[in-house]
Amino acid sequence: MTFVPLTESERTSMLATLGLADTEALFDAVPADLRFPAIDIGPPLNEMEATAHVESLAAANRPASGIPFFLGAGAYRHFIPSAVGALMGRSEFSTSYTPYQPEVSQGTLQMSFEFQSLVCDLTGMDVTNASVYDGASAVAEGALMALRLTGRERVVVSAGVHPHYRQALDTYVRPRGVDVYTSQMAVRDGVLQEVGLLEALDEHTACCIVSQPTFFGEVRDVAHAVEAAHRVGALALEVYNPTSLGLLRPPGEWGVDIAAAEGQPLGIPLSFGGPYVGLLSCRRELVRQLPGRLVGMAKDGQGRRGFVLTLQAREQHIRREKATSNICTSQTLISLGVAAYLALLGPAGLREVAESCCRMARFAADRLGKIPGVEVITPRPFFHEFAVRTPLPADAVNRSLLERGIVGGYELGKSYPGLDDALLLCCTELTTRDQVDRLATALENIVG
Amino acid sequence: MSEGTAVPEDRRYTREHEWAISDGDLVIVGITDFAQHELGDVVYVELPKVGARVAAFKEFGVVESVKAASDLFSPVTGEIVVINEELGEHPEWVNESPYARGWMLRVRPDDVQELDQLLDAEAYRQLIGGAEAE
């Protein structure tokens, strides 16, 4: 289709035909307070001026790489081998147009198949789709699977699941009349404890959603939740941190039915929060209800190995409004980064990364816990994050840290009432002991 | 109508291409030879749970072929007593034997008279004859 610009004379002629004075008059029916507001953004700039302006705005950013950085809470700074970016930058992969035609899409299809296989290896799950948008939508789609599979209308979710994921879950399921029950987190005996999760499971519950590690970093025994869910005929959905699986028992071994995660820690930069990639896996028997693109390995007419989209009748291009989901899509390019990262590191490399993260977080918690007034409230063991309480409000502590050139932690009061004095801190393999020392010294000065 | 399309005289039909036949107290339900032919190779049949209620001309499941997914509509109102679990392993039976091994449900009808309101073989033959002529 040719792009035809709308000229002033065409505009005038159309308005004359309609008997209107100007374009604004078309929107008279919309109440004024609901209309797009006038925005004062100054006069137009040429490209050189605009570049200079945007550069001056960008200079206000504090890149995570240059300074001590302890923010995690769902988006994690890890080292990314250059080969990841080199592969993602190849022009053959730059379109993620749905590879309906296998005869011209073998590269993209094979890549997705390998991504799926790597995530299955990582999680111990039977099937993984070719990805969804992000961790939050993976959890929400997982819950929708459970609702369809059980025909029930209640979801029980741990308060230890990322608060943003729980918000997305609400958005997805509440309008369908689904009852979402969330457990409570409270500080008891000096540590964060969850109350009212397993007790809430009943015969109306479609699934129990738990996080490993929790949002607060704690590593738990997932088996209790799996058993309790299965006892009432509900499914168990585990939200996991993929890096942690270098060390921790994978979802498949806990016996969960559905596993969901944010894939960003696997080779994807923080980049202001996206685009990221959601990992969604399930047991083999549930595959008919797994939403989204799925690539299978097959043989062509001459017996040669090939890759094709499979079980497509689950999807909206076949089943339309009865599809397993009309609101998901695969993040093909980002999943390529994840596949490249996992393939480059291998199981041993991922374990090294996970160990480094965990070791540095333990070192940091030990160091900070010695500061008078600072309490580590995440129970041990934890993975690479832990929550601390200080005598000052968390936002004040963060501001003081930033003045000293340190990015502090996530202010837990934003998501958990009563935790306004708590920060969630994260260490990865990129965190150095020197940076932890600087954080500890700064905190001593701030709270002392 | 093509020569090979079977429309047995012993049962009744819906406009959505399901068949129904009395079997004692129960009614057996499946899809027609014409339907399986139009669908192509059936790869999956999604059936409701035993004990569930079905209503005449309302959806009770989905049949998937390599090229389409189609809703299944119940010919009668009643309670599902048995489903053909073997279709889980052998969806191809719907193609190979739509009127026998490819059956889908056994329903206890609320009112067996409902069957009489369905198309007979002759009416169904005319229906698909029209469809094929299009």
Decide if B72 contacts B14 (C-beta within 8 A): no
Using a CB-CB cut-off of 8 Å, the residues of chain A touching B42 are none
Mean pLDDT across B20-33: 96
Per the CB < 8 A criterion, the answer to whether A271 and A242 are in contact is no
Domain B16-127 - what CATH class? Answer: mainly beta
The pair of structure tokens assigned to B32 is: 């027609």
Sort residue A167 into left (φ over 0), alpha (ψ -120 to 50) or beta. alpha
* Token pair listed for A220: 């738990």
Residues of A in contact with B65 (CB under 8 A): 313
Is A263 in the same domain as A309? Answer: yes
| CA–CA distance, B2 with A37 (Å, rounded to integer) | 65
Q: Dihedral through CA A100, CA A103, CA A104, CA A107, nearest 10?
A: 90
In a domain, A297, yes or no: yes
pLDDT in the model for residue B3: 53
ipTM value > 0.85: no
Assess whether A206 and A229 both reside in one domain.
yes
DSSP annotation of B119: B
Is the residue at A2 inside a domain? no
Question: Helix, strand, or coil here: B106?
Answer: strand
Residue B20: per-residue pLDDT: 97
The residues with which B19 forms a beta bridge, in sequence order, are B13, B30
pLDDT in 10s for each residue of chain A, 448 residues: 566 778 889 999 999 999 999 988 999 899 988 888 888 888 999 999 999 999 999 998 888 888 999 999 999 999 999 999 999 999 888 876 778 888 889 999 999 999 999 999 999 999 999 999 999 999 999 999 999 999 999 999 999 999 999 999 999 999 999 999 999 999 999 999 999 999 999 999 999 999 999 999 999 999 999 999 999 999 999 999 999 999 999 999 999 999 999 999 999 999 999 999 999 999 999 999 999 999 999 998 899 999 999 888 788 887 777 788 988 889 999 999 999 999 999 999 999 999 999 999 999 999 999 999 999 999 999 999 999 999 999 999 999 999 999 999 999 999 999 999 999 999 999 999 999 999 999 999 999 8
- For A129-190, list the strands marked E by DSSP: 154-157, 179-182, 184-188
- The residue from A308, A342, A376 where one domain ends is A342
| Mean pLDDT (whole number) for B79-108 | 96
Q: How many CB atoms lie within 10 A of CB B15?
A: 13
Q: Which of A284, A308, A342 is the last residue of a domain?
A: A342
What pLDDT, on the 0 to 100 scale, is given for residue A39?
Answer: 86
Contact residues on chain B for A151, CB-CB shorter than 8 A: 49
What is the reported pLDDT for A139? 98
Residues A323 and A366 in one domain: no
Report the distance separating Cα A236 and Cα A255, nearest Å: 8
Q: What is the DSSP letter of A391?
A: S
Could you tell me which residue, A42 or B67, shows the higher pLDDT?
A42
Chain A: nearest CA to B63, how far in angstroms?
Answer: 9
Do A443 and A301 share a structural domain? no
Last residue of a domain, one of A342, A362, A388: A342
- Whether A144 and A216 map to the same domain: the answer is yes
Q: How far apart are CA B73 and CA A65, in angstroms?
A: 60
Token look-up 């965190």 returns: A431
User: Could you say which DSSP state residue A6 is in?
Assistant: P
> What burial class does residue A247 get, using C-beta atoms within 10 Å of its C-beta: 0-12 exposed, 13-18 middle, 19+ buried?
middle
* A175 lies in the same domain as A282: yes
Classify strands B53-54 and B18-23 as parallel, antiparallel or unpaired.
unpaired
- Please report which confidence band the pLDDT of residue B134 belongs to, taking 50, 70 and 90 as the band edges: very low
Domains of chain B, residue spans: 16-127
Q: What is the CATH number of the domain that holds A190?
A: 3.40.640.10
Question: Does residue A397 lie in a domain region?
Answer: yes
List, as ranges, residues 46-85 from B with C-beta within 8 Å of A: 46, 49, 62, 64-65, 67-69, 71
Question: Which helix H or strand E contains A253, and what residues bound it?
Answer: helix A251-254
Q: Which two tokens stand for residue A256?
A: 């969960």
Q: What b-and-e string marks burial along A12-22, b requiring 16 or more CB atoms within 10 Å of the CB?
A: eeeeeeeeeee
A112, A234: one domain:
yes
User: What's the pTM value of the predicted model, to 2 decimals?
Assistant: 0.87
Residue A389 DSSP SS3 = strand
How many domains would you assign to chain A? 2
A55-64 contacts: CB < 8 A, separation 24 or more? A62/A402, A62/A407, A64/A270, A64/A407
> Do A365 and A284 sit in the same domain of this protein?
no
Chain A's closest residue to B49, CA to CA, is A151
Residue A338, domain extent: 82-342
A364 and A297 in a single domain? The answer is: no
Among A347-351, B18-22, B41-45, B91-95, the least confident range: B41-45
Residues A217 and A303 grouped into a single domain: yes
State yes or no: pLDDT of B123 exceeds 50: yes
pLDDT number for residue A61: 87
Structural contact between residues A201 and A228, judged by C-beta atoms closer than 8 angstroms? yes
Confidence of residue B132 (pLDDT cuts 50, 70, 90): low
pLDDT given for residue A96 in this prediction: 64
A190 in a structural domain: yes
Does A320 fall in a domain? Answer: yes
Q: Which of B82-86, B99-103, B112-116 has the lowest mean pLDDT?
A: B112-116
Judge whether B43 is closer than 8 Å to chain A, CB to CB.
yes
The one-letter amino acid at A248: L
Q: Evaluate whether residue A61 is within a structural domain.
A: no
Compute the nearest-CA separation of A311 from chain B (Å): 8
Question: What pLDDT, on the 0 to 100 scale, is given for residue B1?
Answer: 45
> Model confidence over A359-404: pLDDT tens digits?
999 999 999 999 999 999 999 999 999 999 999 999 999 999 999 9
The verdict on A139 and A237 lying in the same domain is yes
Q: Given this model, what pLDDT does residue A327 score?
A: 87
Residue with tokens 């039915």: A257
Q: What is the model's pLDDT at position B131?
A: 65
Q: Which residues, 6 or more positions from A398, have their beta carbon under 8 angstroms from its beta carbon?
A: A408, A409, A411, A423
CB-defined contacts A:B, below 8 A:
17
